[in-house]
């Protein structure tokens, strides 16, 4: 015998409150607008539209990146006017840079990923479009070895100025003992 009656109002909801409330999920309206607009404006550009757990994801090669972002910013129906975050990722297939844009007019959030070919880490700089990119690109450049073409001042930001390492690459070791001057035979300092 099973009780078919719906639960009483006193009992707690089946799913927690927060799960019902969370709106940080891919926006289907944005996805449709994005597909329509890009197919119209950039008919010959190879791009893919996918989804992460929270955002619509637009994937494009580096050579078409600057043109696509200009469209994202200029078109009224998209109007992505803020670059909120940038992060490099060291995938096994190659270095990828993920950009997170936000549109205040439509409350849209979009992730754009740019995958570099293995031997070429050049990506066009966004500093001309978004001033926020200045420090984000410096950080990604020092941590992963990206080269942002057009950046006015691409020197180290968080690391020491003369340190030429890229610590967030998977090949880079987490820790290494320092060679002390006068005690060990080798050259003093860190040898990465």
Partner 1 sequence: MTVWPDTREGTLDVGGFETVDMTINVGPQHPSTHGVFRMVLTVDGERVVDAEPYIGYLHRGLEKLTENSDYRQSMGWWDRTDYLAGMCCEGAYCMAVEKLAGIEVPDRAEYIRVIMMELSRINSHFMFFGAFGADLGSFGTSFVYGWRERERIYDLFEEVAGDRMFPTYFRPGGLTMDLPDNFEHRCRWVLSSVRQGLEDFDGLLTGNEIFVERCRDLSPVTQEQAINWGLTGPMIRATGLKWDIRRAEPYSIYPHLKFEIPVGRQGDVFDRFMVRMAEAYQSSRIIEQCLDEMPRSGLVLNPDLPTTLRVPAGECYLRTEGTKGEYSVHAISDGSNKAYRMKLRSPAFCNLSALREMVIGTYVADAIIILGSLDIVLGEVDK
- The SS3 assignment for 109 reads strand
Binding residues among 52-81 for partner 1 as defined by CB under 8 A: 52-55, 57, 81
- The SS3 assignment for 98 reads strand
Antiparallel, parallel or unpaired: β 82-91 and 56-60: unpaired
Is 19 a binding residue for partner 1 by CB under 8 A? The answer is yes
Q: How far is CA 160 from CA 140, 149, 163, 184, in A?
A: 15, 22, 5, 24
24, 44, 181, 186: which one binds partner 1 (CB under 8 A): 24
Per the CB < 8 A criterion, the answer to whether 102 and 108 are in contact is: yes
What are the two backbone dihedrals, phi and then psi, of residue 140, each rounded to the nearest 5 degrees? Answer: -65, -35
At its nearest, how many Å lie between partner 1 and the CB of residue 63? 24
Binding mask 119-158 for partner 1 (x = CB under 8 A): -----------xxx-xxx------x------------xxx
> What is the binding site for partner 1 (CB under 8 A)?
12, 15-19, 21-24, 52-55, 57, 81-85, 87, 89-90, 98, 100, 104, 107, 109, 111, 130-132, 134-136, 143, 156-160, 167-168, 172, 174
């Amino acid at each position: 015998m099973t009780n078919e009656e719906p639960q009483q109002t006193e009992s707690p909801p089946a799913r927690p409150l927060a799960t019902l409330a969370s709106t940080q999920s891919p926006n289907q309206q944005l996805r449709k607008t994005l597909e329509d607009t890009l197919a119209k404006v950039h008919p010959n550009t190879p791009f893919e539209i996918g989804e992460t757990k929270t955002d619509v994801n637009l994937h494009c090669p580096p050579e078409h990146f600057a043109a696509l972002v200009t469209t994202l910013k200029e078109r009224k129906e998209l109007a992505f006017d803020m670059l909120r975050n940038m992060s490099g990722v060291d995938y096994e297939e190659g270095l990828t840079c993920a950009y997170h844009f936000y549109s205040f007019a439509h409350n849209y959030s979009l992730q754009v990923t740019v995958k570099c070919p293995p031997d070429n880490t050049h990506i066009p700089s966004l500093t001309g479009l978004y001033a926020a990119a200045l420090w984000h690109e410096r950080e990604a450049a020092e941590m992963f070895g990206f080269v942002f073409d057009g950046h006015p001042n691409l020197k180290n930001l968080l690391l020491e100025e003369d340190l030429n390492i890229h610590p967030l690459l998977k090949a880079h070791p987490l820790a290494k003992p320092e060679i002390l001057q006068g005690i060990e035979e080798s050259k003093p300092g860190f040898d990465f």
